[in-house]
Amino acid sequence: MELGTKLPYFELRGCDNQIHSLMDVSDKSCILILFICNHCPYVVAYLDRIAKLIEHYYEDNLGVLLINSNDPTKYPIDSFEGMQTLAKQYGWESIYLHDEDQSVARLFGAQRTPEAFLFNSNRELVYHGAIDDSWEQPNLVTRVYLEDAVEYTLDGLEVDIPHVDPVGCTIKWKAN
């Protein structure tokens, strides 16, 4: 997905067993779509940082939808039931969504977990990529790419670094 692309509409089932869509976050100043899963060591290393980001910017009007597009036959922990367990642990039941047919990942061109897509108030893609520069060791982070992009976007400014290649596991695609 190219920078400036409009946020495409989608509906997916959340871990609360309800259908969720962009309408759930339509009143937010900016929207973060973050492709994650349960098994990837990169995602596991980022879970607490993701939770802190969501909590920190909730009051500032950041909308967040987390999406798991992995094929659970390859990684059973990425099943809907596995997602529900993780969602309950973090309180993400209504924002952790299951892309069972992988159509949303394909729509976004997502390739990795975690992979961030941040949209501004005009619902244009303003940041795509990595969360920060040290997935493995949070204490060694020197650049918080996603957090900086959120700050800039919430302030109505142009993101200074709009793309950083995402680092993580590849999305586990279903066999055709």
Sign of the C-alpha dihedral computed for residues 174, 34, 91 and 136 taken in this order: positive
The average confidence (pLDDT) of the chain is 97
pTM of this structure = 0.97
The whole-angstrom separation of Cα 24 and Cα 27 is: 8
Q: pLDDT value at position 21?
A: 96
* Burial class of 83 by CB neighbour count within 10 A (0 to 12, 13 to 18, 19+): buried
What number of residues does the chain have?
Answer: 176
At a CB cut-off of 8 Å and minimum separation 6, what does 137 contact?
A: none
CA distance readout (Å), 160 to 63, 106, 109: 21, 27, 22
Q: pLDDT value at position 74?
A: 87
Letter for the amino acid at 21?
S
Closest by CA position to 129, among listed 142, 143, 118, 140: 118
The 10s digit of each residue's pLDDT in 18-36 is 999 999 999 999 999 999 9
The whole-angstrom separation of Cα 120 and Cα 5 is: 11
- The domain limits of the chain are 11-170
For the chain, count helices (H), then strands (E): 4, 10
| Per-residue pLDDT tens digits of the chain, which is 176 residues long | 999 999 999 999 999 999 999 999 999 999 999 999 999 999 999 999 999 999 999 999 999 999 999 999 989 999 999 999 999 999 999 999 999 999 999 999 999 999 999 999 999 999 999 999 999 999 999 999 999 999 999 999 999 999 999 999 999 999 87
Q: pLDDT value at position 67?
A: 98
CATH fold, domain 11-170, is Glutaredoxin (3.40.30)
